[in-house]
Amino acid sequence: MTKKKRENLGVAREIDGLEEKLSQCRKDLEAVTSQLHRAELSPEDRRSLEKEKNALMNKASKYEKELKLLRQENQKNMLLSVAIFIVFALLYAYWTIDRKWSDGIETNHRAVSTS
């Protein structure tokens, strides 16, 4: 799938779609393999099924490689999201602690000034 399509479609959705295609490809491969095990095939039919089997195996291999890359990309996206969340959590914690500390100093300063 092209990079532009990948940007428009979420990585998780793309993974789901590719897993579905891979599943269908494996089912088709199973069907072809079971047909090949029949003894009453003509040499021409056998060659045709072998050719189809090889094409399905190549297709499945391609899907598996693409799935591996998409899963890696999905993992990177997840780690980036976690890192961004941690940065915001730390900034929020710093801001609230600094604000409470500043408010505490102002309260103490006012108490000393009025005395």
The predicted model gives 55-76 an average pLDDT of 96
The string of pLDDT tens digits covering residues 29-63 is 999 999 998 878 899 999 999 999 999 999 999 99
**Total domain count for the chain?**
1
pTM assigned to the model: 0.68
Distance CA 9, CA 23 (A): 20
- Closest of 112, 20, 105, 114 to residue 66, by C-alpha: 20
pLDDT of residue 98: 79
Domain that holds residue 90: 3-114
The string of pLDDT tens digits covering residues 3-38 is 555 555 688 899 999 999 999 999 999 999 999 988
pLDDT of residue 2: 56
Alpha helices in 1-115 (DSSP H): 3-8, 11-36, 43-114
Look at residue 112 and tell me whether its pLDDT is greater than 70: no
pLDDT of residue 10: 87
